[in-house]
Amino acid sequence: MSADVNLGGDVEIKWVEVPEAQDIWEGDIVDAAVDGEQVIIVHHLDGSYDAFQGLCPHQEVLLADGKWDEESCVIACPGHLWEFDMKKGDGINPKGSTLYRYPVKEEGGVVHVGIPQDGEAHYTKSYES
């Protein structure tokens, strides 16, 4: 199970199975379209999972195509090398940029990502350069 994701109030969550994440090794990442949203799923070395928006908030480049370091848990976007901590979704370079974090759970080897049913875009955008 991922760390707590605060969605506030009474937001309904739709749990969607992610077949692309079923067999990823610890320390690996995978991207998937989940209920119409681009998501990157991280299977951490400690066995836990996290899920974030799959597109860089800078220019919407697919993060899974970037340089991934499983030891430091940092991904660098292939577009302009923006870096993100894939434990929290926080921007490292530049600071202040963040990734939208989805709830994620694994049960019996099956990974599910929670898509909030709130009518909102689940994506953060940053215009820093």
Cα–Cα distance measured from residue 37 to residue 27, given in angstroms and rounded to the nearest whole number: 23
Q: Taking the model in full, what pTM does it have? A: 0.89
**pLDDT value at residue 8:** 57
Q: Residue 1 has what pLDDT?
A: 41
Backbone φ, ψ for residue 10 (5° rounding): -105, 40
Tracing tokens 């009474």 back to the chain, one arrives at 10
Q: 39-43: long-range contacts (C-beta < 8 A, 24 or more apart)? A: 39/102, 39/113, 40/64, 40/75, 40/86, 41/104, 41/111, 41/113, 42/73, 42/86
pLDDT at 79: 93
| Percent of the chain surpassing pLDDT 70 | 91
pLDDT in tens, the chain (129 residues): 444 455 556 889 999 999 999 989 999 999 999 999 999 999 999 999 999 999 999 989 999 999 999 999 999 999 999 999 999 999 999 998 999 999 999 999 899 999 999 988 788 887 665
Amino acid sitting at position 30: V
Please check whether residue 82 is in contact with residue 90, taking contact to mean a CB–CB distance below 8 angstroms: no
Tokens of 121: 């875009």
